Structure 1
Amino acid sequence: MQMTDFCDHLYNESTDGYIQILKLDDENNSGERTIKIYNTKNDGLRDIVEELHKKEDVFLAPNTMYIPKRRVENIRQFRALFQDIDCESMGLEKAETVYMIWIMHYEGKIPKPTMVTDSGRGVHLYWRIQNAPFGALNTWQELQDYIYYNLKHLGADRKATDGARVLRLPGTINSKCDANCEVLYIDNDVEYSMYELREEYLNYKPKTHQLKMQQTKKIDNKVISNRFFNSYSLHMERANDLETLCRLRKYEMTGYRNMAVHCFAYWKGIYVRDNYELENIVIEFNNAFTEPLKETEVQAVLRCIPKAIDKFIAYEQGLRSGERKRVSKGMRDKEGYWYKNETLIDRLGITSKEQKHMKTIIGLDEKYDRKNEKRRADRRNEEGLIKREQEKVNTLNEVRELVRNGLKNKDIAEKLKISVRQVQRLKKEV
């Protein structure tokens, strides 16, 4: 019943994609534990978890994947927000920890969890959400970081803020402490909307107010995402721009490899919080170069990333919690790694031709070119005509119709509120 209740809370007929379950098996002759992986759709999930009932060290990914490979970039649906609270490491009892979490909810600091499970050495918290696609990644990650930031003092694990994270399955056993994992609390009447949570807890304001703020240049401590990106989505698009740059150069990045690997590892690390998974992604990226960096050089870059991500979360979530932050023009006061476009263009040697394929890493010339192109496009309608040209076409059509109806020039001029001479000129084009 524990396992069924757990599954029914997170997954229903709206579930799409693969749900991954991991089972750590006993150590082999070399002292390593092997992993058995199950990938299933919702309709086959309950048969698998029943098979794993009372087994040791079983983990499940709350979010689903569009292919049977568990990675953040493969997420099909976000099903829940979650946190892994290792309260015992902080000297706290589980009951005491859950009580403190409920107090924080009543104080308006965090939303009320829809499910709480005992993980053996701590508790897992879940906030069931209306399922959302991969495009909602930045919103999901912001909310995940917000909850982590507010629960960090209770033992929240930053590595568990990863969208592809697996957590212990209730109804199984944690071999590290020989304890049963079980459901402590479920509320099936609550399902959150991420966008409502964002407005309530992340200090977001409606877009109409956003535009007003931008026009008046007024500054306050509210989080106002600009027309295109906020801090989270900007990092994601910068990583995509960097991959685009590498493809354009057919991965001939000699002379720019260190900067490319450093930026890629950091930008990817905003969303990939599992250090092992991030390492694999960065190594794959480096190995695609025609002349890859040495493994020791890649590892040196990776060692700096977790600390930088911690600073990024502290800065961004502090801002979302209402703290006033001073930010200089050069963004030197921001925590983590922040590079201006000019710096990235210079240090990666990005040409004006390459910038045309980028979304975020562009110089002033490319920025103005895009604005002018947009203005030109905005001025022309679907027929490629500007307003004045379209008005002339409309008048010509009206004159043509009135001529067919037998009206004289004077009558046409009076009906269309134009001069007789103008009617005569238009009739020549009809």
Structure 2
Amino acid sequence: MLAREVQLENSKFNDKEIKDIIELLKIVLGRVDRNGYIRILNTGTYKNIYKDYKVSDMLNAKKLNKILNSGEFELVNLFYSVNTYKTKSMATEDNIFQIVNILLDVDYKKSMYGKLNSKQFIDMLEHDIFGQVVPTPSATIFTGNNVHVIYKLKYSVNATDKAKILAKRVQKHLTAELKEFNADRSSNLTTLTRFIHTHNSKNMGKVSVKTYKNISYELRELQEWLPSLPSWYQKWKENKKNKKENNKGKVTRFHTEYSLLITRVKDLEKLQELRNFRCYGYREIMCFLYRNFVIQVECDSKVAEERMLEFNSKFQRPLKENRIESKTRIVERHTYRYRNDTIITLLDIIKDEQKELDTVISKEEKGRRNNERTKEVNKTKRRNSKGLTKREQQKQDKLKQLMKLIDREHTNKEIADIMGLKIRQVQYLKKEL
């Protein structure tokens, strides 16, 4: 059955399905700051739709019913984020507000266990893997084709850099433990899962869930499943600290180059969003650049390929996966460095777009930002601790002096003589008061 046919047969969630979704969301999003945003993604039959909603709206049955049954979403390939975002701007790790769940994507259909149905596979995990090789999860979601394993954090963690690094370490280690089941090796806190009672367009399989009651973890409890650090680590860390000053130039340079690559990846994602995910005529070169920069950041060709394909899938009309994979594969043999001017020329990035980007900017845009920064610094320097210029502060001092003299019932002429002003100036200051 085609995806469109399923959508026509099941165009809306019924009351029981909404209730089931709410119950699952209360498990997955429990004890989270309700001011954060959840992203809903629908890679439907005709176009991709991105919408962001407050957690409070997602946990309200009436509001969720209105959101999901608005007619805007199809019940095929309908996803939501398992972690929350600060704003509606972008679904990137920099915009993550709180880490709420750690999700493992287990693509077991491509492993030696691919002939098992979802129940058989999950039963096997429960019997041989959960609680032994990896912790018992809070829920397993059958995506219609494969399985998502979800670990709910007992207390949502603010997404500081240290928290994100630790959460990604946990995610990467647990997926490595499940490598025989072809678990996704990339560590990504922006991964989405599917709404239950929807369909997967790959085979029209229906999404379902199995929850494990009262199972949640503190992040440090999951950290205990990580392998212990080697004996040499502490000594190496101390030596590194001692040598930091001597190697300052080298470290700074490496950090700058690494940060530049990360920022260029983010700029490509931002450019894709600025162009409303159309980018016709530029999709192939954008995918090539994206894969080229990611492979230099991750040092892992498989991760670079997967992230590039994910990037491609966000276009309103994605390129065929096998075609774009082969067209960009050359970066596995040789990576490329590009000047900003080259990238701007290749992608025809206009001035208004450059204003929204972090690093892919022309010399003119860089100069404009430096001028603005200089003006802001000079403006700050001209003001005192109260935020007033010298002239504004003098005026405030005169007004205070005037108030005291008025309280003592001095005439305008007496006030003018005391303050060294003209009578007209005293009258003006009284109007200010």
TM superposition score normalised by structure 2: 0.49
TM superposition score normalised by structure 1: 0.50
